[in-house]
Amino acid sequence: MSTMNSIIAIIISLLSLPALYLLLTTIAAYLFKKKENAPNSFLNIGVLIPAHNEEEGIARTVRNVLACDYPANRRYIFVIADNCTDSTAETARNAGATVCERTDEINRGKGQALDWFLRKQKNIYKDTDAITIIDADVNPDTGYLREISLSLSQLDTQAIQAYNGVSNPKSGWRPGLIDAAFNVFNHLRMAGSCQLSGTCVLKGNGMAFRTALLQRTGWPCHSIVEDMEFSLRLLQEEIDVHYNPDAIIRSEMVTSGNNATSQRSRWEGGRFTLVRQMAGPLLKLFLTTGRSSYLIALTELALPPLSLLVLLFAIGTAAALLIGNPTQQLITLSWWAILIIYVASGQIQRKAPLSTWAVLLAAPLYILWKIPIYAAMLLRKKSTSWVRTTREHNKTN
């Protein structure tokens, strides 16, 4: 029994580490303020949209960008029609975008498409000062481009991440819960990590960079989680990614179980692969340089998704109850208090409506839905291809 007690004590100690980090990040997020020293110089901004068979929604996205409150002569829209077998290219052109068509059946993927455009089509975007990358189903706020320009007008800022929200939170419990989760993961954690280390992780959608940076680097990251991979490359070059919570884009989240399962499996499977690849190098960089940004990046990368963390906390709590140790039971109780504060703080900071708070009641269903996904990820062969998520919006352009 003493051996079992020792094992449970170790498990509880290990699970206390992510709980403490969530508490620290929550406190730091309340202290965060976006960087705003220099005035907005209204940069020439290229809006880059990688698209694979997006004929149903690409015109809507182009129109959404055109509707942004930004000088028309300082805004460019570029669409990469990548390996498309539909009318994405023609539809985007008719909507007002400059379209580059790419066909490469071997080197397929979003990262590969971005890299091709940035390296091979420099003449097309040569007049831009900055480039923001958005998905093909995005609805940016009217002030999105102004906020991008404001952030990149700061002299020492080369890369920023916007707030990525949900455009259809009332379409069902899944998008509603993802909206609540984004308030935490795409805001609180971003603000917290920026406050703690001066940088944050790119989210793939709503990223923006000085053009000179992308002209130099291209997009060398080609995994499913190419955004996180590129974040770590920038970190190694000591280039900070700043977070602007007022630059807002919103994307449609799937509502059906099959589409949601496919989407989450790809995202989280790719993330776990990157953890295995980058945890060692990041730890080595922290130990050799002492820079806190490497430690924060390692923690952000290695921290389990919230639903998995809840499952682990439940196991730890059950173990503490089993051995009847009052101190360990108190520790596990603190985990749940921290989780509540953490999730609630994300909603408070993003001023979530009552409907978002209410949908949190469905969180246990979401966690139960995720259990077979995690089980399947342990057995399924990993995919690196660009799989288009089925859109569920009205198909009228």
pLDDT for position 396: 35
pLDDT tens digits along 61-94: 999 999 999 999 999 999 999 999 999 999 999 9
Question: Tell me: the pLDDT tens digits for 5-24?
Answer: 888 899 999 999 999 999 99
Asked if residue 394 is part of any domain, the answer here is no
pLDDT of residue 352: 94
Tokens at 199, concatenated: 């940088």
Average pLDDT on 262-280 reads 67
Alpha-carbon span 33 to 243, nearest angstrom: 9
* 145 within 8 A of 68, measured Cβ to Cβ: yes
DSSP H stretches of helix in the chain: 2-31, 58-66, 88-95, 110-120, 144-152, 173-183, 189-197, 211-217, 226-236, 257-289, 292-302, 306-323, 326-349, 354-359, 363-379
Say yes or no to pLDDT of 395 above 50.
no
Tokens representing residue 112 in the block: 């590969």
Domain boundaries, position 73: 45-252
- The three-state secondary structure class of 134 is coil
CATH code: domain of residue 243: 3.90.550.10
d(CA 217, CA 111): 13
pLDDT at 379 over 80: no
293 lies in a domain?
no
Both 9 and 85 in one domain: the answer is no
In a domain, 295, yes or no: no
Which residue, among 259, 269, 261, has the nearest Cα to 228 in the 3D structure?
A: 269
Q: Does one domain contain both 138 and 56?
A: yes
Question: Does residue 145 lie within any of the structural domains?
Answer: yes
How does 91-106 read in b/e, with b if 16+ C-beta sit within 10 Å?
bbbebebebbebeeee
Greatest pairwise CA separation for the chain in angstroms: 74
Instruction: Assess whether 89 and 186 both reside in one domain.
Output: yes
State what percent of residues in the chain have pLDDT above 70: 88
Tell whether 131 and 200 lie within a shared domain.
Answer: yes
Whether 266 is in a domain gets the answer: no
Residue 17 domain-assigned? yes
**Do 173 and 241 reside in the same domain of the chain?**
yes
Q: Is 199 exposed, middle or buried (0-12, 13-18, 19+ CB in 10 A)?
A: buried
Residues 245 and 331 in one domain: no
| Residues 236 and 322 both lie in one domain | no
Mean pLDDT, residues 321-327 taken together: 88
Q: Does residue 221 surpass a pLDDT of 70? A: yes
The dihedral through the CA atoms of 304, 310, 313, 314 has a sign that is negative
Tell me the C-alpha distance between 115 and 217, whole Å: 9
> 219 and 360 share a domain?
no
Beta bridge mates, 100: 80
Residue percentage of the chain with pLDDT more than 90: 66
> Do 13 and 148 fall into the same domain?
no
Taking all residues of the chain, what is their mean pLDDT, rounded to a whole number?
A: 89
Report the number of distinct structural domains present in the chain: 2
